[in-house]
């Protein structure tokens, strides 16, 4: 059934594609892309209005979009298109030339009356224009195009190829994420003549596979969500279904805490249409296994939600989200408890077997594990990390033996059965096994902590050995991968070097480690015997890369809720600091300095001095000679600088950056008077060089904390 509407009639619009079960891990993206694609097409065609609202739906077996206030016919609109110069458009007999006819045909006006074309301009500048009122797009035709284009552009990782029988009985080849069975296309209560994937649109869909296994008729687009929830036992909105699941999990958890990572919650939401939460249990004896193993087993293999007490200790009860709501869920509960038991038994078996062999006995086996074809195996890598870690420990004056031992066994848990089954547990299991083997407590902790921080905002290592190993491990990866020509480009960063660089910054800064960043990079470089690594992994390039990550990190920091400005960050980073541990203190001091009345003048003066020194091509003396000071203003500045220098140096040594910057205020008036009375570039080279030496000394003292000229 299809009814022709009068032009510009507005009503709600709905398109649904009903399929077999869609890939759960990508359902949310598919739903968003489907609704956005359809809406964008209608909007660009002028079929939506300012009051149109779009709602996307995505369930395991359907993608749909509902848009309010959609026009049946877009308004007509004026078109004025420049065609060709009149001299080219017409021949000497006044007839249309092939270029003009071709141009009109490409615009869809091949049959237009040439007399209606507009001429504009005079003489040789006369140009021909198309000036018409174009008919607005029709919804039915636009919806057809929008559906086909949107389906073709969906982010589907792998297509399924299947056949459908057409009306004439011939089988046609079709490809989509999953076989499609129905399409709904409604404008108000009218069915639109739309077809795709070998299916003609109707106003019918199907209900819940078990709770409402029948055909559901949608009387109008406005009734879609209401009808599905009331008659079909379907909650079509992904976010609504997700929120309902989260609320039900929290309610069922009671006084316990429910572990519901976003990825698991999204995946479970994509697996059910009418969610019901039930409580299950597993045997108490399984709690003897490290709880990370049990949690990961339940989440990864079974899509269950683990529960812990308020102290974070795992409980032997868990929650499941079923697609079946029933008053007697005993069969569902017992079935899931029966399924999880062998999974937990496997985890226990892996854990018990792994403990029979100490981690230290696995060190030699790291030689069998390839790290990178140009960088050797994991044993080679372990030795490089050992060299970096012991070097850092020596610089910090701490126990080098602990750093050496931690680096030696940190990667051995990669060879265990548990990590082989669950790679996400690397490091975590190393910690457990190292403790079982009687390793030093810091060494055991470092087996896990050296992966920290794993992501932005992640916790940092608690132990000193773990911190050292975390820096060493990240440096080795960064320098090695950079050295084989795999530095990040654009969005491509397969080895997460940006994350490693940011991790190094956080470890040095937040742990307040006074270590030279260039020296650390060089320490890592010398561990690689490969010539190509030495050539490509240039310390200056890697330093710049790390500082760029640091710049982004500092932009996210704030004082009293006020983020640091780009000028403030540039001021502390433009000097290429070797040590970055005190940058937050410097920025904080800079913020206080900026509030001083003399700050703008000092910043401007510093910038002026920088420009003068940059333009100087001759060598500047190391110090200023008092005997060559002739003008009172330069003598006064020299005395003021001499008086301030001990105060500045003392404050710098004690890292009293606020006091240091405030001490610069005493130089404000002498600097002003100097530039008012003194010509720096005096014709006399001795006077000129002496004044440049004075400015250079002043510049060094003014920039102890940051380049104040960046604030000008």
Q: Determine the length of the chain.
A: 712
> Taking a C-beta distance cutoff of 8 angstroms, is the pair 389, 472 a contact?
yes
Measured on CA atoms in the order 82, 86, 91, 93, is the torsion positive or negative? positive
Per DSSP, what are the bridge partners of residue 66?
14, 55
Copy the structure tokens of residue 488: 């990040």
Which SS3 state, helix, strand or coil, does residue 157 take? coil
Model pLDDT, residue 260: 96
pLDDT at 40: 97
Give the three-state DSSP class for 532.
Answer: helix
Query: For residue 255, is it left (φ>0), alpha (ψ between -120 and 50) or beta?
Result: alpha
- The predicted-structure confidence for 498-526, as pLDDT tens digits, reads as follows 999 999 999 999 999 999 999 999 999 99
The yes-or-no verdict on residue 3 having pLDDT over 60 is no
Residue 356 CA: distances (Å) to CA of 276, 379, 416, 427, 679 = 42, 22, 11, 18, 82
pLDDT of residue 456: 86
Global model pTM greater than 0.85: no
3-class secondary-structure state, position 4 = coil
**3-state SS assignment for residue 82:** strand
Q: What is the CA radius of gyration of the chain?
A: 36
Q: Take residue 680 and report the two structure tokens written for it.
A: 């720096």
User: Is the per-residue pLDDT at 133 higher than 90?
Assistant: no
Count of Cβ atoms closer than 10 Å to residue 519 Cβ: 15
What is the phi/psi pair of residue 369, to 5°? -100, 115
**Measured in whole angstroms, how far is the alpha carbon of residue 140 from the centre of its chain?**
39
DSSP string across 165-227: E-TTS-EEEEEESS-EEEEEEEETTEEP--EETTEE-BSEEE--TTTS-SEEE--SGGGHHHH
Q: How far does Cα 209 stand from its chain's mean position? A: 37
695: phi then psi, degrees, rounded to nearest 5: -65, -35
Q: What is the pLDDT of residue 8?
A: 65
Cα distances from 624 to residues 249, 694, 697, in angstroms, run 75, 5, 8
d(C-alpha 229, C-alpha 227), whole Å: 6
Q: How far, in Å, CA of 150 to CA of 137, rounded?
A: 18
- Where is average pLDDT lowest: 123-132, 147-156, 557-566, 655-664? 123-132
User: Three-state DSSP class for 634?
Assistant: helix
What are the start-end ranges of the H helices in 664-709?
668-677, 685-702
Strands 10-19 and 62-71, sheet pairing: antiparallel
Confidence band for 217, pLDDT divided at 50, 70 and 90: very high
548 by Cβ neighbours in 10 Å (0-12 / 13-18 / 19+) ranks as: middle
Using the CB atoms, write b or e for 215-240: b if 16+ within 10 Å: ebebebbbbbbebbeebbbbbbbbee
Query: Which two three-digit tokens encode residue 9?
Result: 């009639």
> How many angstroms separate the CA atoms of 73 and 137, rounded?
6
Instruction: Measure the CA–CA gap between 516 and 395, rounded to whole angstroms.
Output: 10
CATH 1.10.730.10 for domain 594-711: yes
Name residue 206's beta-bridge partners: 215
Spatial neighbors of 20 by CB under 8 A, at least 6 apart, are: 61, 178, 179, 181
pLDDT at 6 over 60: no
The arithmetic mean of pLDDT across residues 114-118, rounded, is 86
Stretch 465-470: mean pLDDT: 98
Percent of the chain with pLDDT over 90: 86
Q: What is the mean pLDDT of residues 457-478?
A: 97
Number of DSSP helices (H) and strands (E) in the chain, helices first: 26, 22
Looking at 152-161, 419-428, 483-492, which range is the least confident one? Answer: 483-492
Cβ atoms within 10 Å, residue 66? 25
Distance CA 217, CA 365 (A): 64
What the block records as the tokens of 311 is 């102290």
- For residue 622, give the DSSP letter: S
pLDDT at 116 over 90: no
Tell me what pLDDT residue 534 has. 85
Where does the pLDDT of residue 1 fall: very low under 50, low under 70, confident under 90, or very high at 90 and above? very low
The encoded tokens of residue 192 equal: 């639109």
Residue 410 has pLDDT above 90, yes or no: yes
Domain boundaries, the chain: 10-74+139-231, 77-134, 238-354, 368-556, 594-711
Judge whether residue 4 has pLDDT over 60: no
DSSP label of 286: G
pLDDT of 122: 81
Which of 663, 655, 670, 673 is closest to 708 using CA atoms?
663
| Residue keyed to tokens 């018990």 | 352
Indicate whether 76 pLDDT > 90. no
Which DSSP string corresponds to 585-607?
HHHHHHHHHHTSTTHHHHHHHHH
Given the candidates 3.30.1490, 1.10.3210, 3.30.70, 2.40.50, the CATH classification of the domain at 368-556 is: 1.10.3210
- Residue 639's φ and ψ, nearest 5 degrees, are -65, -40
DSSP conformational letter for 635: H
Burial of 452 (0-12, 13-18, 19+ CB in 10 A): buried
H or E element at residue 402: helix 400-409
| For range 264-283, the mean pLDDT | 97
Residues 6+ apart with CB under 8 A from 158: 177
In the chain, what percentage of residues exceed pLDDT 70?
99
Other CB atoms within 10 Å distance of the CB of residue 675:
18
pLDDT in tens, 157-207: 999 999 988 877 888 899 999 999 999 999 999 999 999 999 999 999 999
End-to-end CA distance of the chain: 72
Q: CB-hemisphere CA count at 13 Å for 555?
A: 10
8 Å CB contact between 365 and 357:
no
């Amino acid at each position: 059934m299809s009814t022709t509407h009068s032009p510009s009639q507005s009503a709600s619009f709905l398109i649904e594609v009903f399929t077999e079960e869609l890939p759960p891990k990508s359902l949310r993206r598919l739903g968003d892309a489907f609704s956005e694609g359809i809406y964008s097409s209608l909007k660009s065609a002028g079929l939506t209005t300012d009051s149109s609202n779009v709602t996307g739906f995505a369930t395991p077996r359907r993608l749909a979009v509902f848009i309010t206030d959609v026009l049946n016919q877009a308004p007509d609109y004026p078109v004025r298109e420049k065609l060709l110069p009149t001299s080219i458009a017409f021949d000497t007999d006044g007839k249309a030339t092939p270029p003009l006819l071709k141009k009109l045909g490409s615009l869809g006006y091949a049959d237009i009356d040439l007399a209606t074309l507009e001429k504009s301009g005079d003489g040789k500048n006369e140009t021909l224009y198309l000036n018409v009122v174009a008919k607005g797009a029709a919804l039915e035709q636009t919806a057809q195009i929008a559906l086909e284009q949107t389906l073709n552009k969906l982010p589907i990782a792998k297509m399924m190829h299947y056949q459908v029988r057409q009306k004439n009985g011939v089988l046609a080849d079709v490809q989509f994420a999953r076989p499609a069975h129905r399409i709904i296309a409604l404008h108000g209560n009218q069915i639109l003549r739309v077809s795709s994937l070998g299916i003609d649109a109707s106003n019918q869909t199907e209900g819940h596979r078990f709770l409402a296994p029948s055909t559901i008729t949608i009387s109008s687009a406005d009734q879609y969500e209401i009808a599905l929830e009331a008659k079909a036992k379907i909650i079509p909105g992904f976010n609504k279904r997700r929120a309902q699941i989260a609320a039900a999990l929290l309610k069922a958890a009671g006084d316990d805490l429910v572990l519901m990572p976003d990825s698991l919650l999204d995946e479970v939401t994509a697996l059910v249409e009418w969610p019901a939460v039930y409580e299950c249990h597993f045997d108490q004896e399984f709690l003897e296994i490290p709880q990370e193993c049990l949690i990961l087993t339940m989440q990864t293999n079974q899509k269950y939600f683990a529960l812990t007490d308020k102290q974070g200790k795992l409980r032997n009860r868990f929650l499941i989200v079923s697609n079946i709501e029933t008053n007697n869920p005993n069969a569902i509960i017992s079935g899931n408890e029966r399924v999880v038991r062998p999974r937990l038994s496997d985890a226990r078996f892996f854990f018990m077997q792994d403990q029979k062999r100490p981690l230290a006995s696995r060190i030699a086996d790291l030689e069998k594990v390839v790290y990178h074809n140009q960088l050797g195996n994991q044993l080679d890598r372990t030795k490089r990390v050992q060299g970096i870690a012991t070097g850092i420990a020596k610089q910090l004056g701490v126990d080098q033996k602990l750093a050496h031992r931690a680096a030696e066994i940190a990667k051995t848990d990669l060879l265990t059965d548990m990590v082989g089954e669950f790679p996400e547990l690397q490091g975590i299991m190393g910690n457990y096994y190292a403790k079982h083997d009687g390793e030093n407590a810091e060494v055991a902790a470092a087996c896990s902590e050296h992966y920290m921080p794993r992501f932005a905002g992640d916790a940092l290592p608690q132990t000193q050995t773990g911190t050292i190993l975390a820096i060493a491990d990240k440096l080795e990866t960064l320098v090695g991968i950079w050295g084989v020509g795999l530095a990040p480009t654009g969005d491509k960063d397969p080895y997460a070097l940006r994350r490693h660089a940011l991790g190094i910054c956080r470890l040095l800064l937040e742990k307040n480690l006074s270590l030279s960043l260039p020296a650390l990079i060089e320490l890592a470089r010398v561990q690689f015997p490969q010539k190509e690594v030495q050539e490509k992994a240039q310390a200056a390039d890697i330093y710049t890369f790390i500082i760029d990550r640091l710049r982004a990190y500092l932009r996210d920091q704030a004082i009293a809720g006020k983020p640091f400005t780009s000028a403030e960050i540039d001021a502390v980073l433009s000097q290429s600091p070797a040590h970055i541990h005190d940058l937050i203190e410097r920025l904080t001091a800079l913020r206080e300095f900026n509030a001083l009345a003399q700050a703008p003048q000092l910043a401007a003066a510093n910038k002026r001095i920088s420009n003068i020194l940059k333009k100087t091509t001759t060598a500047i003396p190391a110090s200023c000679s008092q005997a060559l000071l002739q003008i009172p203003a330069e003598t006064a500045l020299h005395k003021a600088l001499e008086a301030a220098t001990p105060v500045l140096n003392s404050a710098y040594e004690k890292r009293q950056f606020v006091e240091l910057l405030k001490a610069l205020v005493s130089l404000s008036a002498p600097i002003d008077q100097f530039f008012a009375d003194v010509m720096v570039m005096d014709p006399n080279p001795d006077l000129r060089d002496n004044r440049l030496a004075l400015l250079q000394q002043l510049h060094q003292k003014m920039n102890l904390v940051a380049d104040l000229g960046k604030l000008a």
